[in-house]
Amino acid sequence: MNTKYKMCAQGKQQTPINIVPSKDVDLKPLDLQYKADAKSIINNGHTIQVNVAEGSVLKIDGVDYKLKQFHFHVPSENNIKGDSFPLEAHFVHATDDGKLAVVAVMFKEGAANASLAKIWKEFPNLEVGKALPFSMSVDEIKALMPENKDYYKFMGSLTTPPCSENVKWHVLKTPLTISKEQINAFFSQFGFPNNRPIQNTNGRVVEE
């Protein structure tokens, strides 16, 4: 096996999981300080990813986790109490020394989301592996998260190789909506579901 993928097969703290909260600890509100616009968009072969300019952070215990990019999975990777969702967005943050934190947002079928529409509009222009300039304001980025940011918290991994662990996961409890047409458009962009299967929790604690 390629050592690059070793953690994907042998890790004990892999994501995604079926989220079943095991500990009610009154989590602190998420300290999201988003100030920067998007700068580019890419189909990297796994997903559609929007890269963000510097200046947006998620503060955790006084440490700045800088927002680097956000991307999408259809259907959702994590499940919540056994429920899968048609789309899950991952906002990926990193500290200067490489620690990772993800904020995940679920979407259920309903009204179209305007920020998704703006991203989806780029699909016909995307070639795998080639980033294109993309403008999206910080307010449009924030519209990809619900007002109510209550969340589930657990330790996990990246869901694509190298599946690195010690990633702080924050999955928002409140879903937004995506239209049937938007779900189908993502599917036809890829031609396959781009979610990783559910992984074993191995006794991990999920806080809420």
Q: Which residues are catalytic?
A: 46
**Considering CB under 5 A, how many residues would be counted as binding Zn ion?**
1
Nearer to Zn ion, 22 or 68 (CB): 68
Which CB, 18 or 22, lies closer to Zn ion? 18
181-200 footprint of Zn ion as x/- string (CB under 5 A): --------------------
Span between the terminal Cα atoms of the chain, in Å: 37
Give least dist CB 73 to Zn ion, A.
6
- Which residues share a beta bridge with 171? 104, 152
Report CA-CA distances (Å) from 66 to 20, 29, 34, 38, 71: 28, 17, 9, 13, 15
CB of residue 113 to Zn ion, shortest distance in Å: 18
Q: Rounded to an integer, what distance in angstroms lies between the CA atom of residue 49 and that of residue 39?
A: 11
- Residues numbered 83-142 forming contacts with Zn ion, rule: CB under 5 A: 90
- For residue 94, give the H/E element and its range: strand 87-94
Q: Which residue is nearest to Zn ion (CB)?
A: 90
Nearer to Zn ion, 90 or 170 (CB): 90
CA atoms within 13 A on the CB side of 40: 11
Minimum CB separation from Zn ion for residue 24, in Å? Answer: 27
Site of interaction with Zn ion (CB under 5 A): 90
